[in-house]
Amino acid sequence: MSLAGGSADAPVLRVEGVVKRFGEHTVLDGIDLTVDRHEVVVLIGASGSGKSTLLKTVNLLEQIDDGRILLGDEDITDPRVDADRVRARIGVVFQHFNLFPHMRVLDNVTLAARQVFRTPRAEAERTGRALLERIGLGEKAREYPDRLSGGQQQRVAIARALATEPELLLLDEITSALDPQLVGEVLDLVGELKASGSTIVMATHEMSFARRVADRVVYLRDGRIIESGPPEQIFDAPEREETREFLSRLREPFA
Amino acid sequence: MSTTTAMGGARPFEPSTLEHERRAFRRSRKRRSVLVSVASTLVFAGVLALALTSSPGWARVSATFLNPEIAVDALPRILKGLWLNIQVLFFAAIGVAVFGTLLAVARTLKGAVFTPIRLLAAGYTDLFRGVPLLLVLYIVGFGVPGLELTGRMPAQFWGTIALILTYSAYVSEVLRAGIEAVHPSQRLAARSLGLSHAKTLRLVVMPQAVRKVTPALMNDFVSMQKDVGLISVLGAVDAVRAAQLEVAASYNFTPYVVAGILFVLLSWPFIRITDWVTARAQKREQIGGVV
């Protein structure tokens, strides 16, 4: 997967002092985060810690209340920026797949290429079919999403996000709605994306997967980054007491 | 399902005696149900026919409402009138589809900027759902031509406009319900792909919204098809007006019955086709089950 745009070694994403409030409640409280090209950053933290909101603000699906977010060299939180054009540069995969049930799998995958990038249908479908072949769903191109299993649907959703070769991929708890035996096929695909050089920010509860695939793990709590570092540090020798507590509670939920 | 396909192809599937017994039981139950429903329908129809034909006034009523000679005689002119109804229906349906969609979209626009548009659309639907169609026909058919904005237009033209004005208000409410029934995550997914608000609406939200409310839309369509007959009050010679003229000439009400039957026949294929299309889409896009 080639990655378009930006200078060679500039970070793909820079989040600077981002604040997001819902009424009196501060969901993101001054987040700073830099993501380099080909880097896989995994966000961990309890429900309500701000992982999903952070991903939404990066994709401009939520408006921030302070700070700024840069995609490549461009400040995308500038209100003069065309939000649709920014979103087209970022691929997003949601917890509940959100495939379009009235479109065939191939049409789901090629929609953005055809409608946003004005790629001719034949060309978009060639790319789309190749992508579906790659994720092992080539024979499902003509099916409707609701006839696929959860794991297959989520793989199609990933293909849809990849179809226009985004600079950055945001994965928002993409395995949380799947049966345990279907989680593997989706995570394998994410591992493959990492190997092919995609830049990924993902929120997840799958700690063993986070350890395996992450270049950097970021622990969020109450909208603040508590600790950030390589997986070995975070999982084996966390520096902060809060991180230790969170991880031990995950390991022994009934303790 | 009573048919079995051999799974895998290698070994033909031979059901056990238990399964054979279950199938035999299901078959016999099905046969019994069909017999019961056929018998009860026949009995009901028979009782109804007997009650009608044995009533004291039956001879007079059948002579004035069900006279075959007069029916045959009136049919060509009523059919000619019905052709006008079909033309009006055609243009009115297109007009309602366009205007009703615009109204529905206007009402679902979010953001303070669109408040005037939203209020205007809401006021429109409130007004035109409240005013009887007959009054709208009179006002549009006799009042608007008085403004002399256009040259002389035929009565059916103003009738079509009046139908569009009234039915768009109903249809926009149905469509709005459909739009609001599409889960917000669908919009989110579409916008995250970089699709604009308008494209999201056109390619993702509207197709799903229309599917959700197809039966209700069909209801309005069939209802409008009948109300097309009301344009006769403006002087257009449609099926209803043609039947009226025939009744006046023969002092027999049979032409009304003929017109009524024609209206039913007109609506029937639309209803069946929609049912078929909806069922096919559902079967294609969703996994079925026994219940």
What ipTM was assigned to the predicted interfaces of this complex? 0.88
Q: Specify the pLDDT at position A19.
A: 96
- Torsion over CA of B147, B153, B156 and B159, rounded to 10 degrees? -20
> Which of A92, A100, A146 is opposite residue B192, by nearest beta carbon?
A92
Using the Cβ of A82 and the Cβ atoms of chain B, whether some distance falls under 8 Å is answered with: no
Helix (H) or strand (E) holding B161: helix B155-181
> Which of A84, A98, A144 is opposite residue B196, by nearest beta carbon?
A84
CA distances from A46 to A49, A175, A213, B80 (A): 6, 15, 20, 73
Using the Cβ of A140 and the Cβ atoms of chain B, whether some distance falls under 8 Å is answered with: no
Q: Which residues have a Cβ under 8 Å from the Cβ of A214 and sit 6 or more positions away? A: A40, A41, A42, A230, A231
Q: CA-to-CA distance for A24 and A36, rounded, in angstroms?
A: 33
Q: Specify the pLDDT at position B5.
A: 47
Using the Cβ of B202 and the Cβ atoms of chain A, whether some distance falls under 8 Å is answered with: no
Q: What residues of chain A lie within 8 A of the CB of B203, using their CB?
A: 111, 115
Give me the average pLDDT of each 10-residue run along chain B (291 residues).
Answer: 49 89 95 96 96 92 92 94 95 97 92 91 95 95 87 90 96 96 95 94 95 89 91 92 93 94 90 84 72 58
B contact residues 171-200, partner A, Cβ 8 Å cutoff: 185-186, 188-196, 199
Q: CA-to-CA distance for A69 and A53, rounded, in angstroms?
A: 14
- Interface contact B194-A116, CB threshold 8 A: yes
Which positions of chain A have pLDDT values less than 50?
Answer: 1-6
Q: Specify the pLDDT at position B275.
A: 84
Minimum distance, in Å, between the CA of residue B210 and any CA atom of chain A? 11
Q: Specify the pLDDT at position A9.
A: 72
Q: Specify the pLDDT at position A5.
A: 47
Q: Please report the number of interchain residue pairs, chain A to chain B, with beta-carbon separation below 8 angstroms.
A: 66
Chosen for mutation from B192, B199, B210, B211 (greatest number of chain A CBs closer than 10 Å) is: B192
User: Would you give the DSSP letter of residue A22?
Assistant: E
Minimum distance, in Å, between the CA of residue A45 and any CA atom of chain B? 23
**How many residues can be counted in chain B?**
291
pLDDT tens string A186-200? 888 999 999 999 999
Q: Specify the pLDDT at position B239.
A: 93
Q: What residues of chain B lie within 8 A of the CB of A99, using their CB?
A: 189
* Strand blocks (E) in chain A: 13-22, 25-35, 40-44, 66-71, 74-75, 90-93, 168-172, 200-203, 216-221, 224-229
Q: Specify the pLDDT at position B153.
A: 87
Q: Specify the pLDDT at position B4.
A: 45
Chosen for mutation from A87, A118, A149 (greatest number of chain B CBs closer than 10 Å) is: A87
Q: Return the amino acid letter for A220.
A: L
Q: CA-to-CA distance for B221 and B167, rounded, in angstroms?
A: 9
- Interface contact A90-B286, CB threshold 8 A: no
pTM listed for this prediction: 0.82
Which residue in B has a C-alpha nearest to residue A86's C-alpha?
B194
Q: Specify the pLDDT at position B10.
A: 66
